[in-house]
Amino acid sequence: MPEAVSLSELLATLQFSDPTTVIYLDRTTGQIVGSTQIRAEANGSHEPDSMREPNRLEPLPILTDQDELEIARHFVAAAEKAEDRQRLNLALCSANPQEAFQNALFRCQIANEWFQFRDEHLLQLAKNWLDAQGVTYVDDVTRHAN
């Protein structure tokens, strides 16, 4: 029986991974592995388990810059103060929207709200993705929050 995936580990990977790097979920062990780990296994003396079982590794969803901007737009729409919404919308229309958005968050003093909003969005993304893949998981995120 496949091991359950740690939701907190998946969430951390989604939060901090490089969008140019492919990262996989090992359906058998429930572990998250990078392509460098797979190559290291392949360089060993035997064929890695992940190569013998074609459906064992599932590539994780990649959070692109466009995905990040879409999350930011949702956050802006939900911002309480009109002046914050205006400043954040202006930042999102700039030549470098991600950097301008981050700066505006701190100027508006709502960066903490943004990071919580983003984490909640990524948590839901992770749950939806795991459910769609039919992968069981341990919700160790909610447990730590209590």
The rounded mean pLDDT for the chain is 87
Q: Which residue has the higher pLDDT, 112 or 36?
A: 112
Q: Which residues pair with 32 in a beta bridge?
A: 25
> Is 90 exceeded by the pLDDT of residue 11?
yes
Q: What angle separates helix 65-78 from helix 82-92, to the nearest 10 degrees?
A: 160
pTM equals: 0.80
Q: Which residue has the higher pLDDT, 121 or 40?
A: 121
> Is 70 exceeded by the pLDDT of residue 48?
no
Sign of CA dihedral 132, 71, 76, 115: positive
Provide mean pLDDT across the span 60-72.
93
Provide mean pLDDT across the span 17-32.
90
For 108, phi and psi rounded to 5 degrees? -80, -10
Per-residue pLDDT, 44:
56
Provide mean pLDDT across the span 115-141.
95
Per-residue pLDDT, 50:
46
